[in-house]
Amino acid sequence: MKTSFKYISYFFLMILGLNLTLSSCTSDLDVTPKDDDEFLSETFFQDPASYKQVLAKLYSGLYVGGNDGDNKPDIAGIGGDFSSYLRLLFVMQEFTTDEAIIAWADGTLPTLNTQTWAPANEFLYGTYSRAFYEISLANEFLRQTSDDKLTSRGVDANLKAEIANFRAEARFLRAFSYVNLMDLFGNVPITTEKDPVGFFYPEQKSRAEVFAFIESELKDLDNSLVATKTNEYGRIDKTAAKFLLAKIYLNAKVYTGTERFNDAAKLSSDIIATSGYTFANVPYKFLFSADNNRNGAQNEVIFPVVSDGNAIRATGGGMSFILHASIGGSMDAAAQGMNGGWQGIRTRKEFVALFPDATATADKRGTFYTSGQTLSIANVGTFTNGYAVTKYTNVNSDGTAAQRNDIPDTDFPMFRLSDVYLMYAECAVRGATGTDMTTALGYINKLRTRANASAVTTANLTLNFILDERGRELFWECHRRTDLIRFGKFTGGDKIWEWKGGTQNGAATASFRDLMPIPAKTIQANPTLKQNPGY
C-alpha cells in the first residue's frame, strides 16, 4: 500500500494520546481536549497537516479501539481491544450465525453464540457505542472544516480543495456506521454536524427514516467523493458509496418494508461495468494473505480495512483478533504467520456442509483445519470441538513471512467486487428489471472457477443456492447475519444449526431477534429511547 496515509495514521495515534468519552446523554461527543495536545482545537488546526491527521483517526477507528493501537481506549469503560470496530462487527455478524462460534466465556459473550442475548449484553453496548463514537468524531471534523472555519484560519485554496475530499470521506464513514446501526438495532438517533455539542437527548428515528438519511447521503456523495481508484489505497472513492447504497437497497425490504431489488441491480451493473475494479484472477487464498494489498487481490477490493504489523499496533483488535482467536488445538500458529493462538473461533458443522467433501477437486474456499478437531460441537468451550478455519493468514502469497508475527499485515476486505457479482445474481433470481440469468450465471461461475469448484447451470440458480454461495464466497467477511435475515433464515426454524437457541442440536428462535436490543446502558443514559419489541 502507499505509505503516506498508513504512517500518518500511526503517527497521529502516537502523538495525540486522546481519550474521548461518549457523552451519557447524547450521541455526540464532548470533544474538549483531555490533554495538552488540544485535539480539534483552533491551535491544533493551525497546522495544515492536522486535517489529514483527523481523517486518519477516522479510518484507523475501524481497526483499533484507541490511540497507540488498542491502548488509551476511545470509549471510557470499554477496553481498546474489545471495542475495536472490526472486532465487534465480526462478533455481531458471525458468532450469531452458522459461520462461527467462540469458546470464550467472557461476560455475556456466550449468549451471542446461542441467540439468547439480552439488553444488558456488554458487546452490544460496545458495538452501539463504537459506531456512535465514529459518527461523533466525523460530525466534529465536519464542524471544524466548514467554509467559515477554513476561511477564518486562512486556509489556502489548494488545501481547501483537499479538505473537501476529506469531508466527503468523513461523511461516507459516518454513513457506514449508520448502516451498521440501522442493520443491527433498527430505530436509532441521527446526529449530524448541525447538531449542538453538549447535553441533549437526540431524537430516536424509525429504521425507515435512518434508511432515508443514509440513502440521501450516499447519493449526494457521488458528487463529492473522488473518482474511482484515484485515492490512496485504503481510502474511499465513489464506488464505495455506490456499493454501500446497493447493499442497503438489497436489504431495503428488511429495513423499510419495501423491496428495492431493481435499484440494487442497477447499481451492481454500474459498478461491474464502469468502476474500474476488476475480478482478481488469482488464487482465492491470495485475497486473505498478508500481502493482499499488492498481490493482485487489491484489484477487486473496493474498501479494505487496512492492517499493518508495524504501522498499526493493534494487539487485540481487528485482524489480530480474527487470526489469533482462530488458532488453537494442534494447529501450527507459525504456518498462519502468527506467534500463537487464543483457541477461540471455529465454525459449525452446518456451515461445513455447504462445501463438498475434501478431495483434490474440492472447492478451495472451504479452508477448514480438521486434524484433532471434531465436526460436531459437544462443548462450546472446547476449541477442538468444531472445525477450525484458516481463511485468513499472515503469510505472504509467495510463502514469505510478513513483517511480524504478533500483529498481522492482512487487510480486511470489507467491500469487494465478488460481492457485487453475488448481489447482481441474487437480484436476477428475484426477478429485478434489467437483469438476466445468463449474465448472473457467468458471474457465479467466475467465482466458482477461481475456487476450483464445479460450474453450475441456470437451473441451479435458486435463492437457496445464492444464500449458500454467498456463504462459500464471503464467509467471515461480516455479511452472514444480514444475509440470513434477508432470506428469512436467521431466526425461526427454517434454518437450524448447532447451539442456535441454546441447545446442541439447535432450536428455533423468536423472530424479534432479527433486531438486536437497544443496549440497556444507552436507554439509561437517554430515557427517551424506546426498546425494540421482544426485549
What does the pLDDT average to over 239-265? 98
Instruction: Write the CB contacts of 266 (distance below 8 Å, at least 6 apart in sequence).
Output: 434
- Is the pLDDT confidence value at 5 over 80? no
User: How much is the mean pLDDT over the chain?
Assistant: 90
Confidence (pLDDT) at 40: 62
Confidence (pLDDT) at 3: 35
Confidence (pLDDT) at 180: 98
Handedness of CA 306, 309, 313, 317 (dihedral sign): positive
Confidence (pLDDT) at 23: 31
Q: Are 453 and 468 in contact (CB under 8 A)?
A: no
314 pLDDT band (50/70/90 cuts)? confident
Query: What's the burial of 260, exposed, middle or buried (CB within 10 Å: 0-12/13-18/19+)?
Result: buried
- Is the pLDDT confidence value at 195 over 60? yes
Residue percentage of the chain with pLDDT more than 70: 89
- Give dist(CA 292, CA 9) in Å, integer: 20
31 pLDDT band (50/70/90 cuts)? very low
- Is the pLDDT confidence value at 13 over 60? no
- Is the pLDDT confidence value at 67 over 80? no
- Is the pLDDT confidence value at 360 over 70? no
Confidence (pLDDT) at 65: 77
User: Residue 69 — left, alpha, or beta (φ > 0 → left; ψ -120 to 50 → alpha)?
Assistant: left
Confidence (pLDDT) at 68: 58
Instruction: Write the CB contacts of 520 (distance below 8 Å, at least 6 apart in sequence).
Output: 119, 120, 125
Q: Could you read off the pLDDT of 200-218 as tens digits, one per residue?
A: 889 999 999 999 999 999 9
Confidence (pLDDT) at 315: 78
Residue percentage of the chain with pLDDT more than 90: 83
Nearest to 87 by CA among 338, 324, 335, 319: 319
Q: Could you read off the pLDDT of 72-92 as tens digits, one per residue?
A: 677 666 666 777 999 999 999
Helix (H) or strand (E) holding 301: strand 301-305
Confidence (pLDDT) at 510: 98
Which backbone phi and psi does 514 adopt, to 5 degrees? -65, -20
Confidence (pLDDT) at 417: 98
- Is the pLDDT confidence value at 151 over 80? yes
- Is the pLDDT confidence value at 367 over 80? yes
- Is the pLDDT confidence value at 2 over 70? no
Confidence (pLDDT) at 298: 97
Q: Which of 37-41, 101-105, 319-323, 498-502 has the lowest mean pLDDT?
A: 37-41
Higher-confidence position of 83 and 447:
447
Q: What per-residue string of b and e applies to 85-98 under the rule 16 or more CB within 10 Å gives b?
A: bbbbbbbbbbbbbb
